[in-house]
């Protein structure tokens, strides 16, 4: 399971960096989104990969922390997803305004000819 998650994080981050280096603004925005998804998966995986483990400590005198998952990375990943969605929406609005004003969607503002 850890190998699959690590591979997914690597593929998302690598694809995001490759798209960041593209000349079109839409590709840059998608690259930023892919990198944010990779970071979200990384933060989420910091809470340990446990199956069928409760995220909240139960009442009792003998509590074994190894039997529980850490809820903080899950909360951080959820918050990062919401902020990433809002940032992507803002980037898309800026992209549309920039394309309307300049007539091109190249990062440097001019077509290569």
pLDDT (tens digit per residue) in 62-99 = 777 676 667 787 788 889 889 989 999 998 999 899 88
- Cβ proximity of 85 and 2 under 8 Å: no
Q: What's residue 20's pLDDT? A: 93
Q: Using alpha carbons only, what angle is made at residue 30 by residues 74 and 112, rounded to the nearest 5 degrees?
A: 160
Mean pLDDT of 24-45: 90
3-class SS of residue 51:
coil
Query: Is-contact 30 84, C-beta < 8 A?
Result: no
Residue 54 has a pLDDT of 66
Q: How far apart are CA 50 and CA 54, in angstroms?
A: 9
User: Is pLDDT of 113 > 70?
Assistant: no
- pLDDT band of residue 55 (cuts 50, 70, 90) is low
Please name the residues in contact with 69: beta carbons below 8 A apart, sequence gap of 6 or more: 47, 48, 50, 53, 54, 55
Q: What three-state secondary structure class fits 94?
A: helix
**How would CATH label the architecture of 2-50+70-102?**
Orthogonal Bundle (1.10)
The string of pLDDT tens digits covering residues 1-33 is 788 989 999 999 999 999 999 988 889 999 999
């Amino acid at each position: 399971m850890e190998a699959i998650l690590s591979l997914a994080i690597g593929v998302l981050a690598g694809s995001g960096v490759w798209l960041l280096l593209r000349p079109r603004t839409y590709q840059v925005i998608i690259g930023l989104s892919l990198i944010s998804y990779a970071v979200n998966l990384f933060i989420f995986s910091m809470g340990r990969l446990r199956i069928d483990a409760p995220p909240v400590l139960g009442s009792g005198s003998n509590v074994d922390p190894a039997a529980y998952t850490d809820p903080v990375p899950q909360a951080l990943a959820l918050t990062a997803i919401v902020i990433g969605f809002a940032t992507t929406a803002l980037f898309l609005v800026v992209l549309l305004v920039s394309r309307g004003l300049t007539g091109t969607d190249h990062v440097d503002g001019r077509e290569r000819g």
